[in-house]
C-alpha cells in the first residue's frame, strides 16, 4: 500500500514539473514577444495558457485521488494539500503570462518609447523565482524555497522604479499615455508573478516544516 502511495506521489511530482515547464515556456515566449514586438509569438503564448489550465485540472485530480484512495500520514497530507494550493498560484502565473502577451498584440505596431531594461530585469528575476519555487517543491528543498522568498523585495523595488519612470515620461509627453498604461500593466503582471512564486515557496516551506509563515497562530 505504501509503495503504491509513493508511486502516486512521484507521479504528482512529475506532473508538477511538467506544469512548471509549461509556465517557463509561456513566460519565455511572452518576454521574447515583448522584447521583439512579435505579435504572432504573443498569440502563440496566449494559446499556451489552455495547456496550463488543463494541467492544473489533471494535478487536482491526482491530489484528490491521493487523498481519497490512500491514508496519508501527516507529512504526506501536507505535501498533497500544499500541492493543491501551489497549482492555484501556478495557474494564475499562466494567466498573467497570457495577459502580458495579449498586451503585446496591441503594442507590437509601435516602437517602445522607454527602455525595457528594468522591466526585463524584473521579468528575469520573477521567472527564476517561479522555476526555483516549483523545483523546491519537487526536490523538497527548504533552502531553495527560502532563497525564493528573499527575491520578492528585489522585484518590488524594480517595479517601483519602472512605475516612477513611466509616470515621469508621461508627464513629459501626454501622447505616451496609451503605451504607458500597457507597459505599466505588464510590469505589474511581472510583479504579481513574483508574488505568486513567493506564495508557492511559502507552501513548500509548509509542506516540509508544517509551519506556514502567514498562517501562524
Render pLDDT for 96-112 as a digit per residue (tens, 0 to 9): 999 999 999 988 888 77
Closest by alpha carbon to 20, among 191, 204, 152, 214? 204
Tens-digit pLDDT profile for residues 72-92: 677 888 999 999 999 999 999
Confidence band, pLDDT 50/70/90 cuts, at residue 217 = very low
Confidence band, pLDDT 50/70/90 cuts, at residue 173 = confident
Domain residue extents for the chain: 2-209
**119 vs 89: CA distance, rounded Å:** 21
pTM above 0.85, yes or no: yes
Tens-digit pLDDT profile for residues 30-42: 999 999 999 999 9
**57 vs 106: CA distance, rounded Å:** 30
**pLDDT for residue 112:** 75
CB 33 within 8 A of CB 46: no
CATH topology of domain 2-209: Methane Monooxygenase Hydroxylase; Chain G, domain 1 (1.20.58)
**178 vs 200: CA distance, rounded Å:** 33
Grid coordinates representing 109?
A: 505596431
End-to-end CA distance of the chain: 35
Average pLDDT (147-170) is: 95
Burial class (CB in 10 A: 0-12, 13-18, 19+), 158: buried
Percent of the chain with pLDDT over 90: 74
Amino acid at each position: 500500500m505504501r509503495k503504491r502511495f509513493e508511486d502516486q506521489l512521484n507521479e504528482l511530482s512529475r506532473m508538477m514539473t511538467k506544469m512548471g515547464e509549461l509556465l517557463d515556456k509561456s513566460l519565455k515566449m511572452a518576454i521574447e514577444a515583448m522584447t521583439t514586438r512579435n505579435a504572432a509569438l504573443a498569440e502563440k503564448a496566449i494559446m499556451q495558457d489552455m495547456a496550463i489550465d488543463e494541467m492544473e485540472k489533471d494535478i487536482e485530480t491526482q491530489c484528490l485521488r491521493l487523498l481519497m484512495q490512500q491514508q496519508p500520514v501527516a507529512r504526506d497530507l501536507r505535501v498533497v494539500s500544499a500541492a493543491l494550493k501551489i497549482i492555484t498560484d501556478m495557474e494564475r502565473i499562466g494567466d498573467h503570462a497570457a495577459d502580458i502577451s495579449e498586451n503585446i498584440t496591441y503594442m507590437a505596431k509601435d516602437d517602445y518609447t522607454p527602455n525595457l531594461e528594468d522591466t526585463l530585469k524584473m521579468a528575469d528575476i520573477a521567472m527564476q523565482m517561479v522555476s526555483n519555487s516549483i523545483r523546491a517543491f519537487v526536490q523538497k528543498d527548504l533552502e531553495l524555497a527560502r532563497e525564493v522568498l528573499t527575491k520578492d523585495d528585489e522585484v518590488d523595488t524594480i517595479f517601483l522604479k519602472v512605475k516612477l519612470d513611466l509616470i515621469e515620461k508621461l508627464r513629459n509627453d501626454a501622447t505616451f499615455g496609451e503605451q504607458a498604461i500597457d507597459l505599466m500593466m505588464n510590469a505589474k503582471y511581472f510583479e504579481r508573478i513574483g508574488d505568486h512564486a513567493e506564495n508557492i515557496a511559502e507552501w513548500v516551506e509548509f509542506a516540509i516544516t508544517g509551519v506556514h509563515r502567514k498562517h501562524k497562530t
